[in-house]
Amino acid sequence: MAHEIHLDPWADLYATRMSNMKGSAIRAMMGSAEIPGMIALAGGLPNTKPIGLDDVVRATRETMKAEGGTALQYGSSEGHKGLKRHIIKLMAEEGVTVDYDDFILTQGSQQALDLVARTFIDVGDRIIVEAPSYVGALQATSGYQPDYLQIRMDDDGMVVDELAVALKKLGPRSAKFIYVVPNFHNPAGVTLPLERRKRLIELARQYELLIFEDNPYGRLRYEGEDIPSLRSMDESVMYTSTFSKIFSPGMRIGWIIAPHPILDKIVIGKQASDLCSSNFAQMVLEHYFDRNLWQKNIEQLRDVYRSRRDAMIAALEEFFPEGTSWTKPAGGFFLWATLPEYLDSSEMLAEAIENKVSYVPGNAFYADGSGAHHMRLAFCYEDEEKITEAIKRLGKVIKGQMALAKSLLIKE
């Protein structure tokens, strides 16, 4: 049957920014998780199993009893004080001292990314990002049509020396901000060591640049010592984190800390965007966090994710062919695999899906669309047995592609 071609009758009405915005490759892949037998290494879905549902019911009941109609009303754009109290404690544990008016609550960190983008970026403004970079940050910023300066990453995160070389040429105030995910990077899985953090702060000071630190995974460390956040080293750093990975992404609550003049602008953006975050969700979270249950949850989560990461690394060692490599994350959800440069992981995806295994091709994480010989593998979602099977299947697909490429080369 011939496919009907649907032309969009509104195509000439859309804003130019829409032509720069791509749907997230990861969101598109989420559907593939529904295919029977599929093992999903694509999406970074947090494990919500340790959360006691009865505890959430209790927190909800307490919210309705204690807050009554207030929970059902609009709240302040800056966020509910009762929940802010818990965030102040969380941040203090990370060595960051903040007061109620130093930060606002957002709909997850994703909204913080959008608000920072809309506060700072005019068409053609330069922003500095890691390469690879969190795809949701690229999505949030691309609509504002910036000019991306990508700085390469290695096993220790952003290669700050290469940033220094670039800045020497560009000079002071040459970018609107530097966006970094220093802990257990999404997608690269790597962590920026203390020395590089210090150097990054130094460079930002020298060249009068703002740093935007995104730290959703910092508490999901499976070994080693915590490294101080950039924000704890410099109060001009903008910082976002979220309840999505330490509790539940369904609550859609995150926060952003920023210097007051910037925060004032961000609040105006938030009002334009959604007036306020859900009062109800903020209050349920407050009551849940009042009982300190999240600490037990997170210990369980660390155990589960650590064991899944170990299973993935063991399977990679066993089933991935020579000529491939991967990062060894000390925390977080993702590991970054590198294939020989002649392979294209986005072209290979169809064959992987046929073999009932999904991943996210590397080029989704580069502002310039490069990086196709990498792939992001999520170890957070499937159990050890399925992860091992998925890596075995993927190893076979890669070996097949390598053999094919070799035979084509010999024929030429």
Please report, as ranges, the residues that interact with ligand PLP according to CB under 6 A.
44, 108-110, 134, 136, 181, 186, 214, 216, 242, 244, 249, 254
Provide φ and ψ at 170, rounded to 5°: -85, -30
Shortest Å distance, C-beta 266 to ligand PLP: 15
Contact 213, 128 (CB under 8 A): no
Relative to beta strand 374-378, strand 360-361 is antiparallel
Shortest Å distance, C-beta 252 to ligand PLP: 7
Shortest Å distance, C-beta 244 to ligand PLP: 3
242 or 345: CB nearest ligand PLP? 242
Shortest Å distance, C-beta 47 to ligand PLP: 13
Which residue stretches of 76-170 are H helix?
Answer: 81-93, 108-120, 135-142, 160-170
Please give the Cα distance from 203 to 209 (Å, whole number).
8
Shortest Å distance, C-beta 403 to ligand PLP: 35
3-state secondary structure of 326: strand
3-state secondary structure of 150: strand
Q: How many CB atoms within 10 Å of residue 280?
A: 19
Beta-bridged to residue 338, according to DSSP, are 325, 374
78 or 214: CB nearest ligand PLP? 214
158 or 315: CB nearest ligand PLP? 158
24 or 174: CB nearest ligand PLP? 24
- Give the relative orientation of helices 53-67 and 279-290 as an angle to the nearest 10 degrees: 110
Task: Fill in the amino acid letter for 282.
Answer: Q
For ligand PLP, the nearest residue by Cβ is 108
Task: Mention every residue, 6+ apart, whose C-beta is less than 8 A from residue 412.
Answer: none
110 or 401: CB nearest ligand PLP? 110
Shortest Å distance, C-beta 395 to ligand PLP: 26
Contact 177, 120 (CB under 8 A): yes
Which among 229, 226, 249 is positioned nearest to 239, based on CA atoms? 229
Shortest Å distance, C-beta 140 to ligand PLP: 9
Shortest Å distance, C-beta 133 to ligand PLP: 9
Contact 281, 253 (CB under 8 A): yes
**Rounded alpha-carbon distances, angstroms, from residue 143 to 18, 19, 271, 367:** 7, 8, 19, 12
199 or 252: CB nearest ligand PLP? 252
215 or 363: CB nearest ligand PLP? 215
75 or 136: CB nearest ligand PLP? 136
**Rounded alpha-carbon distances, angstroms, from residue 307 to 27, 200, 302, 320, 388:** 26, 33, 8, 19, 12
175 or 181: CB nearest ligand PLP? 181
Shortest Å distance, C-beta 407 to ligand PLP: 39
Query: By CB neighbour count within 10 A (0-12 exposed, 13-18 middle, 19+ buried), where does 23 fall?
Result: exposed
